[in-house]
Chain A
Amino acid sequence: MASELHAEASPTGSSPWGLALRRLRRNRVALAFGGLFVLIVLFVLAAPLWADHVADTGPNQTHTLEKIEVDGERREVVNVEGKPIGPVWLGGGGKFFLGADGRLGRDEMVRLMYGGRASLFIGFAAALMTTVLATILALLAGYYRGWVDTVISRTLDLIWAFPVLLLGIGLGIALALGGLAIGPVEIPSGSIWITVLIIGGVLVPYMARPLRGQVLSLREKEFVEASVAQGAGPLRVMFGELLPNLSSTIIVFFTLGIANAMLFEAALSFLGVGVQPPDTSWGSMIGDGFNLISSAPLLTILPGTMIFLTVLAVNVFGDGLRDALDPHSKVLLEAHSGMAEPEGTAI
């Protein structure tokens, strides 16, 4: 059955997706930031190449007592006062391009690239998890209403009642030591998946509640009644009729969710409960660099800039995507959560 989105097909015959793509192409700013995001992704994907073939070191390999040749001069990676070498650019033949990360003398460029992989992976995975869970819960609550809605909504309210960062920190501390075991699935402490689960879990209410509102609204539409009249069961209605009509909102939420999850990861890692040492992420690099902010401010500025650029790129592209997919909708940013909520759907 045609969805509302499909029903908006233009008189010229273009599909709604084709129209959205055309609108997106016209939004140069969104495309530029989308391109920036692609560049960042390529940058972090190239980490092993840079580490193996240029820097000749791993992200966790220490060089505390080593000296390197920079433009013909032997220089200590970490001096006797514990100050790491600064950026040597190409003077060291690619080694320590951005200097060393601190008293352990690890290559900052290599760690920046590997840290970006962790940050982006967590951003994507957590946003995906949030999106899937939130969509399912919203469909169930909005479609069935009644006690199902009450149970789901109150549970979400309960999670929402906690300050999200404090909840994340609490879970991070609790799971940092013993890991997590759910039935046969065991996630060891220190695994990056712990961080994904924490972020993906605590952000669910911020997406599920506005989606539920939309489901409640869509459920009363004629096309749903028609589908039911034709004998469609609940699953068919939820996933065959309602879900396609939520797709543009979900896509927008997902892109914005990546940015939110990355910021959340940065905060958790900065506070020591996100990505666990010796692995790194941009957030934990800021935390590590903070100890040396007076003598080596670049160690904080570099990962901070990467987070800023990535979040900006994802947000601007996400806004462009929203405008392209549904130019009539207005998505309001909730100041306190950073998550978007479609107008008029809060219940």
Chain B
Amino acid sequence: MRKLGLTLLLPVLAAGSALGLAACGGGGKEGGTLTGSYASFPDYLDPALSYTQEGWTAMYNTYLPLLTYAHANGSAGGEVVPALAESLPEITNGGRTYTLTLRKGLEYSDGTPVRASDFARSIERLFKINSPGSPFYEGIVGAEKFAKTKTGSITGIKTNDKTGEIVIDLVKPRGTFSNELGMLFAAVLPSGTPAKNITADPAPATGPYVIVKSEPGRGWSYTRNPAWTRTNGDLMPDLSAGHFDKIEIKVVNNDSTQVNEIERDKTDWMQPPPPADLYAKVKDNYEGTQFRVEHPINIYYFWMNTTRPPFDDVKVRQAINYAVNTAALERIYAGALAANHQILPEGMPGHEEFDLYPHNMAKAKELLAQANPSDREITVWTDNESPNNEAGAYYHGVLKELGFDATLKTINAEVYFSLIGNASTPDLDTGWVNWYEDYPNPNDFFQPLLSGESIAPIYNTNLSHMDDPKLNAKVAKLGEEPLGPEQEAEYAELDKAYMEQAPWVPYGTNTVSTFVDSEIDLDKVIFNPTFGHDLASFERK
């Protein structure tokens, strides 16, 4: 749903790493200040609350979890590697117990030692502040009870501050739990971190950079983490220390201005892709030297609420799938989107290309005539960010062409997801949404987006309210298993099974881009498919 991504902070990097990450050496200039711009301030600068790629990029090199993802481009960036933990977890008890050991001697940026119990407090904090990431950890023994009472502790997390041992007991096996331990939500914060949003008052960091100033709405800045130089860097040699002494990020609301400032050497990097208006020009002028297209794993789609007429009829949903032309949507995204008419996007394990509903308006009208829904009054939701708003307007036009009495509601992007995820919002019939992977496991697309378990009164991610018992059971079973070739094949079948039910109209996978100043070495810049740009990889030529 939103642009989320899991951030893993641990990049790998050691020079000579097979992953080809941005290594420290290489002859580039060290020191100085990296300047960047965001089109808007991230949702939060709190690892427990942020659920956008923008936020995860910002905290990728500050707050480290026990595990993280390799700081690498492409599929290599999906590998789970140790961060604050000495090694990957030892999984025992039929997949129900995870044992990890904290590296000895770690410190926060304020000099406080990192303790094993800080991990338990950090997970408990997720529940105390109603983090959108808390569902990932509800499978820990005692977590559900803690979520209700918010007192005591989560009994399934046992820690030993002397030895650094952390033992996590799960209610049932969960094949994605290592991935979830690497999410930014599981970043370890000092035990005394208040159970409130710390965006304006950042907590001490464990990564190579520490946020030293945060002005919500305006910008924030980092300096090198003194603890990294003292101890942490040596303890986590696979992580890059970064090449700049300071990083300054400011909010520039106009993306054309962002492009202009890079062209005039006023900033080194911009967070979002250049605006569609300038995209072709920037690509033509700078591709290969300052510009590069990146491929995060995501899906853009229109959801249909399967519990409300007329979308409670599968024939109506199939008809709409036939009616939407993914080629038109590719054009609307001005070449930044690749058509995809299935749940799993390209690049996600389990993806096997198919299209059950190639564009055919005649067929759509025929199916609709068969269904002959009595209720044709529907509300179409979309956010106001271009070109998503245009995609929503296109979809609205298609529905009108099919004979629906459709009303388009265009909502401010900053509140859009919370609004459509809230069951009390009236007329949640159909609308636009996107989803960026939390981690490279296909379960991350089925469990939160299509499993009946995920239907929630607030922060609902199953917007189509899909609740098929057989498919739910299949998703749950696969979720308990570690991902392998057999599971990937089953996920591919699941993809088709869901598309036969047509709860969505998936239409494409969006690309983003890296656009940097001419002095930045583009080849060294890492774009993790889930966490976005790795600021520690930026280096001057």
Contacts and interface: CB of A to CB of B under 8 A. Distances in A.
Contact of A65 (B328, B384, B411): B328
Interface stretch (A123-131, A253-261, A286-294): A286-294
Interface in B240-289: 256, 275-281
Interface string B425-437: 1100000000000
Interface stretch (B81-89, B387-395, B459-467): B387-395
A103 B256 CA distance: 18
Given A82-B276, A277-B408, A60 B333 contact: no
Interface in B307-348: 325, 327-328, 331-335
Contact of B331 (A82, A173, A276, A291): A82
Given A80-B335, A104-B393, A278-B396, A190 B408 contact: yes
Given A104-B390, A294-B278, A277 B328 contact: no
B119 to A, nearest CB: 41
Contacts of A278: 393, 396-397, 408
Nearest to B325: A65
A94 interface: no
Contacts of B396: 278
Contacts, number: 87
A150 interface: no
B372 interface: no
B387 A103 contact: yes
Contacts of B275: 291
Nearest to A179: B426
Contacts of A87: none
B397 A81 contact: no
Interface string A159-203: 000000000000001001110000000001110000000000000
Size bracket of the A interface: 20 to 34
B393 A62 contact: yes
Nearest to A66: B328
Interface string A274-317: 00111000000000000111110000000000000000000000
A301 B58 CA distance: 38
Contacts of B397: 60-62, 104, 278
B386 A291 contact: yes
A80 B256 contact: no
B17 interface: no
Contact of A292 (B277, B333, B412): B277
B332 A272 contact: no
B327 A65 contact: yes
B248 to A, nearest CB: 27
B332 A64 contact: yes
| Chain A contact residues, majority secondary structure | loop
| Chain B contact residues, majority secondary structure | helix
Interface in B381-433: 384, 386-387, 389-390, 393-394, 396-397, 400, 407-412, 419, 425-426
Nearest to B260: A294
A103 B332 contact: yes
A190 B332 CA distance: 24
Contact of A277 (B325, B332, B389): B389
A78 interface: yes
Contact of A295 (B277, B331, B408, B411): B277
A176 B383 CA distance: 13
Given A190-B407, A190-B408, A64 B328 contact: yes
Interface in A73-129: 78, 80-83, 102-104
A278 B397 CA distance: 9
A288 to B, nearest CB: 8
Contacts of A189: 409
Size bracket of the B interface: 35 or more
Contacts of A177: 409, 411, 419, 425
Contacts of A60: 393, 397, 400
A292 B396 CA distance: 22
B408 A81 contact: no
B505 to A, nearest CB: 16
A173 B407 CA distance: 17
A190 B409 CA distance: 7
A65 B407 CA distance: 23
Contacts of A80: 331, 335
Contacts of A276: 408-410
Contacts of B384: 272
Contacts of B279: 81-82
A282 B1 CA distance: 33
Contacts of A190: 407-409
Contact of A294 (B277, B393, B400): B277
Contacts of B325: 65
Contacts of A178: 426
A272 B277 CA distance: 19
Given A104-B393, A276-B410, A65 B331 contact: yes
Nearest to A296: B277
Contacts of A81: 279-280, 334-335
B286 to A, nearest CB: 15
A28 to B, nearest CB: 44
Nearest to A79: B331
Given A103-B276, A189-B409, A272-B384, A293 B393 contact: no
B272 to A, nearest CB: 13
Contacts of B409: 177, 189-190, 276
B191 to A, nearest CB: 40
A294 to B, nearest CB: 5
Contacts of B281: 294-295
A272 B410 contact: yes
B256 A82 contact: no
A179 to B, nearest CB: 10
20 contacts: A62-B393, A62-B397, A65-B328, A80-B331, A80-B335, A82-B332, A82-B333, A82-B334, A82-B335, A82-B387, A103-B334, A103-B387, A104-B332, A173-B412, A272-B412, A276-B409, A291-B276, A293-B277, A294-B256, A294-B277
6 closest Cβ pairs, A-B complex: A82-B334, A81-B280, A64-B328, A103-B332, A62-B397, A292-B277
Given A189-B409, A190-B407, A277-B410, 18 more contacts: A60-B393, A60-B397, A65-B325, A78-B331, A82-B387, A103-B334, A173-B412, A177-B409, A177-B411, A178-B426, A188-B407, A190-B408, A272-B410, A277-B393, A293-B256, A294-B278, A294-B281, A295-B278
Interface of A: 60-62, 64-65, 78, 80-83, 102-104, 173, 176-178, 188-190, 272, 276-278, 291-295
